[in-house]
Amino acid sequence: MSVAVDTRHWIGGERVASARTFPDRSPIDGSLLAEVARGGADEAKAAVAAAGEAFPGWAATSRDERARLLRRIADGVERRLSELAIVETTDNGALLRSHRNGVMPRVAHNFRFFADWLTGLGHDDFDTRGHTNHVSWDPAGPCVLITPWNAPLMLATWKVAPALAAGNTVILKPAEWSPLTASLLADIAAEAGLPPGVLNVVQGYGAEAGAALVAHPDVRRISFTGSVPTARTIAAAAAANLVPTSFELGGKSPLLVFADADLDLAVDLAVEQFDNAGQVCLAGTRLLVDAAIADEFTARLAARTAALRQGDPRDEATDVGPNIHPDHLARVDGFVRRALAAGGRVVAGGGPNTDLGGLYYRPTLLADLPSGAEALTEEIFGPVLTLQTFDTEDEAVALANGTRFGLAAVVVTGDPTRAARVTARLVAGTVWVNCFFVRDLRAPFGGARQSGIGREGGTWSFDFYCDIKNTVTAPKGWRDHG
């Protein structure tokens, strides 16, 4: 990797080493990228202390000045966009062209958006029997933000930007499988002039650094994106200190294709679910297809899946890169093996790409799984789609809602009346109709059921990262100060 990355922690405006390190390897070829500082209780304590010390000054900083610094961070991201893209691709295996053209520009946009939203944040005063009510959003304090490995910098800044805009200080704990761009973000923030201690980065394992951070009594907010079991552990630690939490968790999202759908569009949308080697929480991995068109849809999708080019994500021609880690590849393959043992049928793919070796798993489509099968109900988080058929609209909705998750859904239909009926009945935080992955930071984002707690985006982000205050003022009682 041609870009130098400092792999020490960033605490209180300084680089801090640890007595121990952990290896960070590229999923592209297994090469060792770095030995990364392995934080624990001591580093967590130091980072929370630094954030606590910096908080009063940052909270007192004017909205305009906070917004100015966030925009300077966005400028820094844009100046180093190519470097960030190659580091993240090398570190987590997602396509370089996606990082360069979509993901990293979105990182910069995260900072600009919340800077702009901050300057316009407000609520009209209102009257109660002649008394004036004034609503304000007050900074809450140090925030612990724990982020996943599948879209490291974009999802980190989706949290960091509103937390900083709100006047909070931040301790960011990136995933140990893809920690490098978080360290570069610390450099960019420092170069932008962010005061020491306002943004801190602590690296390490969840059971060590993460556990110490979420249990710290001086933390005032915890935001986590990841798995349901880890969220339960964090929630228990946060409950001891009554710390508000925001969780964006797993998904098992349906993609419903009705007989009146544009079949070309439906197949295009289904193929999109292999993006980032299937390592996307929002992906509509459960294909629910009207039985009347299922054979034609399946044949078209199988052909398109077989035509996807798998290989080095740095190659512009590559469509599907590697999975993130050997443990994760084994997990994905385990799901497929058990699905076949349960009676499932491979329509496309079905195992590791032996031509490439390493962590490359063939884009896979499974059919004929029995009702309630594990592959139909549990998040696989790899390039694996399942296909089920339905005969009626009611059956389609029942299948769509038939898991413990409720993150997203995709509906493909040519009938706007049907679209309205179906979307009203789906349990999901986001529903896309005849499209996928259209995201606007003004919109609320989050999941239902075990897909999460809370919403982020626009004012919803500030509602979480702030203590919302209502001040009621009487119309009389003032003394003359003239």
Buried/exposed 342-364: b ≥16 CB within 10 Å, e otherwise: bebebbbbbebbeeeebbbbbbb
DSSP labels, 195-263:
PTTSEEE--S-IIIIIHHHHT-TT--EEEEES-HHHHHHHHHHHHHTT--EEEE-----EEEE-TTS-H
248 noted as active-site residue: yes
Cα separations in angstroms, 16 against 40, 219, 338, 445: 12, 21, 45, 35
3-state helix, strand, coil in the chain (%, to 5): 40, 20, 40
Q: H helices of 31-151, where?
A: 41-60, 63-79, 81-92, 96-98, 104-120
The active-site residue out of 43, 248, 379, 456 is 248
Four-CA torsion 32, 36, 41, 43, nearest 10 degrees: -170
Catalytic residue among 176, 208, 281, 466: 281
Rounded distance, CA 54 to CA 251, Å? 37
Q: How many helices and strands (H and E) does the chain possess? A: 16, 22
CA distance linking residue 263 with residue 11, whole number of Å: 53
- Asked if 78 is an active-site residue, the reply is no
Q: What's the DSSP call for residue 315?
A: S
* Spatial CA neighbour of 87 closest among 100, 72, 78: 100
Q: What are phi and psi of 403, to 5 degrees?
A: -135, 175
Active site residues: 248, 281
